[in-house]
Structure 1
Amino acid sequence: MIELYQFELSQYSEKVRLILDYKGLEYRKIEVTPGIGQVELFRMSGQRQVPVLKDGSTFVADSTEIAKYLDRQYPDRPLFPSDPVQRALCLMMEEWADSSIGIKSRQALFGAISQDQGFRKSLLPETTPDIVKSLVEFIPSEVLKVLGIGVGSGPDSVKSATTDLKQDLEALCLLLVERPYLLGDEPCLADLAVAGLSMLIKFPDGPYLDLPPAVKGKGIPGLADSIVYEPFFIWRDRLYAQYRKSTFSYSTAPSAPTSISID
């Protein structure tokens, strides 16, 4: 069986999960934790990042490379249009989604959890001890802002990312006015990439992710709850309903998560 070394809150992992579901492929999710296990993953695959796909003896890293590999090995429900121009547009849009929505949604989400104690606490797994929840909830926003600067998510970066995401969502809404998918009548990698990578803007509401119930259907204020971008999220929800499988249908990871590094 295909194995996906992943992180549940990684939108790049979600992009791959959506691709696997779209193609109707069975796979086992292996949840990972950062730490010393990086050595083990590197020994097995020569890769340090997640998501990493293992198919038999083959390891593939990077969500885009995983998509290309899966399309070669499992050609049913192709990810790329046959028309050369449409294929080019699909590749360009997928790359844009990776570098724009993928990166900027993380920055904007960091800004949201820095400002909202309740939202910050709700992202913690239900098994988190109460004392840890209390500590996380009451971390001063000023401390998180300083930490954010260190990881490229300072106040200026968050503001810029949020502004850019508003433009991205507006453009996507316009593209979807008169067609069911971003490039026409059939879904392609561009649709799956955009839908999966938008996970951190607004978490899908449904049995798709192993997330605390309190955050499902919630997201970045001003984006997730704006009526202006509602057409996009309605479209995404429809795409999920068509192709995304319930998390409960998958094999579960071992009781002790595989420890690998998340870069």
Structure 2
Amino acid sequence: MLELYQFELSHYCEKVRFILDYKGLPYRKVEVTPGIGQLDVFRMSGQRQVPVLKDGSEVIADSTAIAEYLERQYPDRPIIPTEPRLRGLCLLIEQWADESIGLNARKCMLGEMGKNSDFRQSFLPPDIPDLVKTALGVVPNELFGVLEMGAGLTPDALKQAQDAMKRDLVSLCFILDQQPYLVTDQPTLADFAVAALTMYIKFPGGGYLDLPDALKNKGVQGMADIGTFEPFFNWRDNLYMNFRKASVADMPSGSGPTSINIE
């Protein structure tokens, strides 16, 4: 069986999960512990980032490389058009999603965490003691702002990311106004990339991800909660309903993510 080494809350991992579900490929999630767990990923793939897909003796890192591998090895239900113009458009949109939507969505999410204590508390694992959650909640938002600036996310950088993200969402609404999918009349890699990489702007509802209930259908204020972008998120919700399977949280006991053991 295919094994996906992942972070459950990674939007790039969600892109791969979308593709695996669409192609109907059974796979096992292997939840990587940030930090020490990534050492095992490094020994296996030569780099520390997820997603990493293991298919027998084949190990593939990077969501785009994984998508291309799956298209070659498992061609049923293709996700990349063969007609040259449509193929180029699909790959161009996927790259735009990776390099614009994915990066700006992460910055917007961090900005929301910095100003919204309830939002950042929701990211904590459910087994974290309530005392710790409460302590995190009462930390002044200004302190998180200082931490963000220390990581290079200045107020100007955050505003630029928010403005770019809003422009991207408006563009997507225009594109999808008169057509069911971004490139062809069937979903492609472009659709799955865009749907997954907007996860941090508004998390999906339902049981597709192992998310705290407080995060479902919630996201960045001014984008996730206004009508301007509702057509896009309605489109994305339909993509989830039609092509994404229920997450491990809704599966029988014992089928959940497996943590990596370090020898």
Q: Give the TM bin, normalised by the shorter chain.
A: over 0.9
Q: Which position in structure 1 is the counterpart of 2:174? A: 174
Change in CA separation of 1:180 and 1:104 when aligned onto 2, cut-off 3 Å: same
Q: Which position in structure 2 is the counterpart of 1:37? A: 37
Task: Give secondary structure in 1 for the equivalent of 2:60.
Answer: strand
- Aligned equivalents of 1:45 and 1:116: distance in 2? 37
Change in CA separation of 1:57 and 1:103 when aligned onto 2, cut-off 3 Å: same
Report deviation, 1:259.
6.5
- Aligned equivalents of 1:172 and 1:136: distance in 2? 36
- Aligned equivalents of 1:23 and 1:249: distance in 2? 19
- Aligned equivalents of 1:38 and 1:107: distance in 2? 23
- Aligned equivalents of 2:30 and 2:10: distance in 1? 13
Task: Give secondary structure in 1 for the equivalent of 2:120.
Answer: helix
CA contact (8 A) 1:35 1:259 kept: no
- Number of positions where the alignment pairs a residue of Structure 1 with one of Structure 2: 258
Structure 1 segment 232-243 matched on structure 2, within 5 A: 232-243=232-243
Q: Which position in structure 1 is the counterpart of 2:73? A: 73
- Aligned equivalents of 1:72 and 1:116: distance in 2? 43
Q: Which position in structure 2 is the counterpart of 1:160? A: 160
Q: Which position in structure 2 is the counterpart of 1:142? A: 142
Q: Which position in structure 1 is the counterpart of 2:198? A: 198
Q: Which position in structure 1 is the counterpart of 2:26? A: 26
- Aligned equivalents of 2:75 and 2:168: distance in 1? 30
CA contact (8 A) 1:2 1:27 kept: yes
- Aligned equivalents of 1:249 and 1:63: distance in 2? 25
Question: Could you state the TM-score of these two structures normalised by the residue count of structure 1?
Answer: 0.94
- Aligned equivalents of 1:37 and 1:209: distance in 2? 21
1:253 maps to a residue whose letter is: P
2:50 maps to a residue whose letter is: V
CA contact (8 A) 1:106 1:200 kept: yes
Report deviation, 1:128.
1.6
Q: Which position in structure 1 is the counterpart of 2:116? A: 116
For each residue in 1:47-70, what CA deviation from the matched residue of structure 2 results, as whole angstroms up to 9, or x when unmatched? 311010011111100000000000
Task: Give secondary structure in 2 for the equivalent of 1:180.
Answer: coil
- Aligned equivalents of 2:16 and 2:34: distance in 1? 20
- Aligned equivalents of 1:43 and 1:85: distance in 2? 39
Q: What do you get for the CA RMSD once the two structures are aligned?
A: 1.4
For each residue in 1:168-215, what CA deviation from the matched residue of structure 2 results, as whole angstroms up to 9, or x when unmatched? 000000000110001131111000000011110100011001111111
Runs of 5+ in structure 1 lacking a partner? none
2:205 maps to a residue whose letter is: D
Structure 1 segment 41-56 matched on structure 2, within 5 A: 41-56=41-56
Report deviation, 1:35.
2.2
Would you say 1:258 and 2:260 are equivalent positions? yes
- Aligned equivalents of 1:114 and 1:51: distance in 2? 26
Change in CA separation of 1:8 and 1:259 when aligned onto 2, cut-off 3 Å: farther
Structure 1 stretches of 4+ with a deviation exceeding 4 A read: none
Task: Give secondary structure in 2 for the equivalent of 1:170.
Answer: helix
Stretch moving more, 243-252 or 27-36: 243-252
Task: Give secondary structure in 2 for the equivalent of 1:60.
Answer: strand
Runs of 5+ in structure 2 lacking a partner? none
- Aligned equivalents of 2:92 and 2:45: distance in 1? 28
Q: Which position in structure 2 is the counterpart of 1:96? A: 96
Structure 1 segment 121-136 matched on structure 2, within 5 A: 121-136=121-136
Structure 1 segment 180-191 matched on structure 2, within 5 A: 180-191=180-191
Stretch moving more, 91-100 or 116-125: 116-125
Report deviation, 1:79.
1.1
Taking only the aligned residue pairs, the percentage that are identical comes to: 57
Question: Could you state the TM-score of these two structures normalised by the residue count of structure 2?
Answer: 0.94
Q: Relative contact order (alpha carbons < 8 A, sep ≥ 6): 1 or 2 greater?
A: 1
